[in-house]
Structure 1
């Protein structure tokens, strides 16, 4: 199993209510309906404001590395990535849960 975690920090000038942010959030939530390789998918906003905190997170579980590669190449996922790239900086980690 692979746990995929991405943490997003909004760029200066963007707020949760900004139209581009609302669109990116909706896209992130819809990834689970458009990427069949995902076993589970969670999204959400940070609830504790700290200097080191990121703003938004996605967490997905995939059965293996081959499924992760399909996820990364999925056109809907790529569209969501482009939306987040325009409004945020982010970090990603993929944990091997074997």
Structure 2
């Protein structure tokens, strides 16, 4: 199994209630039921206000690196990423567990 973690930071001046952000969150919330490669799917807003904290996170798992690539290439994933590209940056970690 591969754990896929993504941490998002909203761009300067972008707030959670921005309509683009609301739509992006909805797109990610729906991914868990749209992509068969996903074995687990969690996403949500960070509750920490520490200066180094990111704003939003995805925690998911897939069977192997091939399934990870199919997930990354899936049109629903690509559409969600396209939305988030407009208002956020992110970091990822993919590791076996």
Please report how far the alpha carbon of residue 12 of structure 1 lies from its aligned counterpart in structure 2 after TM superposition: 1.2
Output the CA distance in 2 between the equivalents of 1:48 and 1:59.
Answer: 17
* Corresponding residue number in structure 1 for 2:94: 94
User: 1:13-56: CA deviations, max 9, x gaps?
Assistant: 21111000000000011111111100010001010101100000
Match of 1:3 in 2: 3
Identify the structure with the greater helix proportion.
Answer: 1
Residue 96 of structure 1: CA displacement? 1.1
In structure 2, the residue matched to 1:22 is: 22
Equivalent in the alignment of 2:42: 42
Counterpart check, 1:56 vs 2:56: yes
Runs (5+) with no aligned partner, structure 1: none
Aligned mates of 2:50, 2:94 — CA distance in 1? 24
TM-score (norm 2): 0.97
The CA RMSD over aligned residues, in Å, is 0.6
Unaligned runs of 5+ in 2: none
Q: Distance in 2 between the 1:60 and 1:67 partners?
A: 12
Q: TM-score, normalised by structure 1?
A: 0.96
Distance 2:94 2:24 in 1: 21
